[in-house]
Structure 1
Amino acid sequence: MVLKYCVFLFLCIVLAKGKAGFGQGRQNWGFVPINEKSHMFWWLYYTSSTGEYIQKPLVIWLQGGPGGSSTGIGNFLEIGPLNVDLEEREADWTKHVNVLFVDNPVGTGFSYVSDSDIDYFAKNNSVIAQDFLIFLKRFFHENPEFQYTPTYIFGQSYGGKMATDIGLLLYQESKLGNILCNLKGIALGGPWISPIDSISYWHSYLYNLGFIDYEGSEQLKNMTDFIRGVLSTGDYTKATLYNRVVQYTVNLLTTVDFHNIMTKQVKQSSVLLNSSWLPIPIDIESVGDSMPDDFFQNFDNIKKYKGIKSSKPENLYRLMNGPVRDALNITTEHRWGDQRRLVHSALYLDNMKPVTDVVERLLNETDLEISVCNGQLDLIVNTPGTLKWVNSLKWNNKNQWTLADRTPIILENVYEGYQKRYGKLNFYWVHRAGHMVPTGNPQTMLYILKQIIGIDD
């Protein structure tokens, strides 16, 4: 009788958790101190699928950038209950799972560093993972009912790169008993895992789709081949610098949207770049001085674009720093998104470093399920480039995975893509979607979510 009463009391406490936040559903949020200067912000949505939310898995969402905000971009532009216009999202993930949005690394979104000294920002993937472990220990301590809940980390773009080291460290620390967490799998969406493989296919991808001519294709190929050579010397600083010039060159040669090649482009007085993946304008003159003479042919033309503009999602910025900030009673002096450039700058050296070795360790040393998803309209992390590093992975079941069947994804009699699943590795090709698959093809991404976490509701 006493045991039954304790269980009943515990359930009452659990079911009473959550509070009214912004919009619908029970939510919780807060800041976790990472060190004396840094604080990480989290925002949890309890699933609306059942009153007993601990019966459903926990999905941790990590945005890319680096410097992209999970609480803003991931929530309102991709998978949360409301879109940026505050309309209900049909493919809302919180209808099926608990979703934890984390503004990671520190300085992203509402997370902040009280001192603008760059030394307090994470400078590599390893530090990002260590900071995230500090956050998770505090989160699970304050929300102990999730300690045994099946947990999955979903990382998009650079968030996928971060998810690899976070997942490996979390798994190791869990096995050592240093943290209670029931981590089951890691999902990587359009992930920046092997940057050189992604950018090496830009020229052929754009050429085959008619966005550039043969001369433009050869120019981009020569540039990316040169970067591959620079990477072989271990000079990641120069590789990152040169890669950004390649990005500018693509914008000079064509007006294609890096995130979705089918997006209609409006004529601008100067090249318009998407700030979510290229948040810091570069000094064109200083870049030119450091370039090899034969790096590309039209540098003089690119100098005309010193006035390149960087777009800012104004509606989202106003939403996060207005109604959301007020509803969550966030009183810090740092506004949402204001430190994203510092985040990006701190990780400059790490940007072009691959983490394929970490993915191999996840496959060979853990029992975690690894899922990779790519939209066919994504240029920045295109499917051919992603398949290049996936097919080059060295792991125990590699031969069997290679021979496994690729089967179509059919939803309501429509072909929405393909899937290949064997052992601990899953790969999903998604039709009619770009870099942000949940935005481009939300129902197919919802199907993939259910496949990964094993739910059929």
Structure 2
Amino acid sequence: MKNYCLKFLEHFLLFSALLLVATAFSMKYSFDTRKSFKGESWDYVTVRPKAHMFYWLYETTHPSGYKERPLILWLQGGPGGSGTGFGNFQEIGPLDVNLNKRNTTWLQTASLLFIDNPVGTGYSYVEDKKALTTSVAEISADLLTLMQAFVKKHPDFEKIPFYIFSESYGGKMTAAFSKVLYDAIQAEKIALNFKGFAMGDSWISPVDSVNSWGPYLYATSIIDDDGLAAIQTIAKKVEKLVNEGKFVEATGAWDEAEGVVGRVSGNVNFYNIMNWGGEGITSQQEESQTLKFQPEIESHLGPLYRRHVKPLYGNSLDELMNGPIRKKLGIIPDNVQWGGQSKEVFEAQGTEFMKNVTSTVNDLINKTPLKVVVYQGQLDLICDTLGAEMWFDQLDVAESFESATRVLKSCKSHPVACYYQKEYKNVQFYWILGAGHMVPSDNGYGALDMVNQIIAS
């Protein structure tokens, strides 16, 4: 009888513990699974055979209504980072990953459109690996197809001012897509009131970024003379391979360069040099067993993916997107797991990573009326400000821009110095203080104030 009672007590305690965990999970994500915001909608667009892209629209909460406010498209980096997940719940959407209201959401000033891009990212998926994109040109073509379907379904947004904001590799995609979109508008293939685009901590000129790592870390006392020499040596290897057009080999050297940086710096955080002790956003997510392609031999792309994309699918976010949000949306196919194809998306761009798109930015400044914006987090390393200024100085507008006045701005919504800003004609540059690679996460008030400055006209 004694053993029976102990056994019963053991099972009772286990059951109680499981019940508490289940209750806590339910309370954490307790929200109405119906549409939570006025004008909120989502859908899939089949951009090509066997290639399906997912988007999520929020109409602004601004008192004047969505017809009187701009629409902002957010393009996440990676490639393979989910805009509907990370950009939405970790950076600029109305709710955070715990489903609490975000004080600095961009929704209060503009409508927001998140796209899981390139196809295969987030909730987007391909039925065949051959349908993945391998270049920013292919990514741009898919985005154009999606936007054509979007404005057909939501015609009110044809005349509303339209802006693209981006982060990291998303900036490279934004430069390419902006040219494609502008040309399509001129050719009357799509109706959009395209006003401008903003590239945040963007991978525009990989060689300039890599070449700047050593001087930046040296200036911030993170490495010594020996560390500087080691980083500069591997950076020159990257530059040589790029100049020779050996982009696959250059990507391998980029991976080597990050290894050298980690070794000589004591594993500095690539996304925020003040955030010691790892990347700051971590992930234990297992790769999806649904729509999963055959694994290939590990290459330099594996470590790069684990450093720069897998953390965007962190535990809490994965739990949210593959649980309550999936249930709320109600249209995600059973065999699709959020983020299940992100590694394949990243690897498919393997020949594209180290290519430079500075000339595309230059043409858009010179040949279009679009507002062209660069914004940089002060504490970012992977796409640091020093590297951004190096490629920016190669633009035709650089000399004239240099003579413009640089202004220190305090946030209207927060009484601190938020950023420096400089403007010349249709070009703006923002230096965001106290922020790393993910500017809206690190300095939400500064990012929101910047957005209001950009869309003010």
Query: TM (normalized to structure 2)?
Result: 0.84
Aligned partners of 1:440, 1:207: CA distance in 2, in Å?
23
Which residue among 359, 382, 385 is the counterpart of 1:383?
A: 385
Query: Any conservation in 1 of the 2:281–2:314 contact (CA below 8 Å)?
Result: no
Q: In structure 2, do the counterparts of structure 1 residues 38 and 236 end up closer, same or farther at CA, with 3 Å as the change threshold?
A: same
Q: Given residue 405 of structure 2, which amino acid in structure 1 is its aligned partner?
A: D
Q: In structure 2, do the counterparts of structure 1 residues 155 and 229 end up closer, same or farther at CA, with 3 Å as the change threshold?
A: same
Give the structure 2 partner of residue 414 of structure 1: 416
Aligned partners of 2:283, 2:429: CA distance in 1, in Å?
28
Indicate whether 1:45 and 2:47 are aligned: no
Indicate whether 1:131 and 2:142 are aligned: yes
Q: In structure 2, do the counterparts of structure 1 residues 22 and 202 end up closer, same or farther at CA, with 3 Å as the change threshold?
A: farther
Aligned partners of 2:240, 2:438: CA distance in 1, in Å?
30
Query: Any conservation in 1 of the 2:282–2:314 contact (CA below 8 Å)?
Result: no
Aligned partners of 2:239, 2:432: CA distance in 1, in Å?
28
Query: Any conservation in 2 of the 1:24–1:81 contact (CA below 8 Å)?
Result: no
Indicate whether 1:260 and 2:260 are aligned: no
Q: Given residue 49 of structure 1, which amino acid in structure 2 is its aligned partner?
A: H
Q: In structure 2, do the counterparts of structure 1 residues 21 and 128 end up closer, same or farther at CA, with 3 Å as the change threshold?
A: farther
Q: In structure 2, do the counterparts of structure 1 residues 213 and 149 end up closer, same or farther at CA, with 3 Å as the change threshold?
A: same
Query: Any conservation in 1 of the 2:121–2:342 contact (CA below 8 Å)?
Result: yes
SS at match of 1:433: coil
CA deviation vs aligned residue, 1:126-155 (integer Å, no higher than 9, x gap): 111111111111101111110111000011
Aligned partners of 2:197, 2:207: CA distance in 1, in Å?
22
Give the structure 2 partner of residue 405 of structure 1: 405
Indicate whether 1:184 and 2:201 are aligned: no
Q: Using the aligned pairs only, state the percent identity.
A: 38
Unmatched 5+ residue regions in structure 1? 1-18, 288-301
Query: TM (normalized to structure 1)?
Result: 0.84
Give the structure 2 partner of residue 205 of structure 1: 216
Q: Given residue 328 of structure 1, which amino acid in structure 2 is its aligned partner?
A: L
Q: In structure 2, do the counterparts of structure 1 residues 439 and 370 end up closer, same or farther at CA, with 3 Å as the change threshold?
A: same
Query: Any conservation in 1 of the 2:33–2:327 contact (CA below 8 Å)?
Result: no
Query: Any conservation in 2 of the 1:273–1:310 contact (CA below 8 Å)?
Result: no
Aligned partners of 1:46, 1:68: CA distance in 2, in Å?
23
Q: In structure 2, do the counterparts of structure 1 residues 398 and 201 end up closer, same or farther at CA, with 3 Å as the change threshold?
A: closer
Q: In structure 2, do the counterparts of structure 1 residues 273 and 439 end up closer, same or farther at CA, with 3 Å as the change threshold?
A: closer
Indicate whether 1:106 and 2:119 are aligned: yes
- Where in structure 1 do 4 or more consecutive aligned residues deviate above 3 Å? 19-26, 271-276, 281-284, 309-312
Aligned partners of 1:260, 1:379: CA distance in 2, in Å?
7
Give the structure 2 partner of residue 358 of structure 1: 360
User: Alpha-carbon deviation of 1:96?
Assistant: 1.0
SS at match of 1:257: coil
Aligned partners of 1:217, 1:282: CA distance in 2, in Å?
35
Indicate whether 1:60 and 2:73 are aligned: yes
Aligned partners of 1:21, 1:232: CA distance in 2, in Å?
53
User: Alpha-carbon deviation of 1:252?
Assistant: 2.6
User: Alpha-carbon deviation of 1:100?
Assistant: 0.2
Q: Given residue 383 of structure 2, which amino acid in structure 1 is its aligned partner?
A: V
Unmatched 5+ residue regions in structure 2? 1-31, 288-294
Query: Any conservation in 2 of the 1:21–1:28 contact (CA below 8 Å)?
Result: no
Aligned partners of 2:106, 2:34: CA distance in 1, in Å?
17
Q: Given residue 268 of structure 2, which amino acid in structure 1 is its aligned partner?
A: V
Give the structure 2 partner of residue 427 of structure 1: 429
**CA RMSD of the aligned region, Å?**
2.5
Q: In structure 2, do the counterparts of structure 1 residues 398 and 262 end up closer, same or farther at CA, with 3 Å as the change threshold?
A: closer
User: Alpha-carbon deviation of 1:212?
Assistant: 2.1
Give the structure 1 partner of residue 16 of structure 2: none
Query: Any conservation in 1 of the 2:33–2:324 contact (CA below 8 Å)?
Result: no
SS at match of 1:65: coil
SS at match of 1:224: helix
SS at match of 2:85: helix
Q: Given residue 218 of structure 1, which amino acid in structure 2 is its aligned partner?
A: A
Query: Any conservation in 2 of the 1:63–1:159 contact (CA below 8 Å)?
Result: yes
Aligned partners of 1:181, 1:392: CA distance in 2, in Å?
30
Give the structure 2 partner of residue 238 of structure 1: 249
Aligned positions, number: 406
Query: Any conservation in 2 of the 1:21–1:27 contact (CA below 8 Å)?
Result: no
Q: In structure 2, do the counterparts of structure 1 residues 413 and 31 end up closer, same or farther at CA, with 3 Å as the change threshold?
A: closer
Which residue among 98, 111, 123 is the counterpart of 1:85?
A: 98
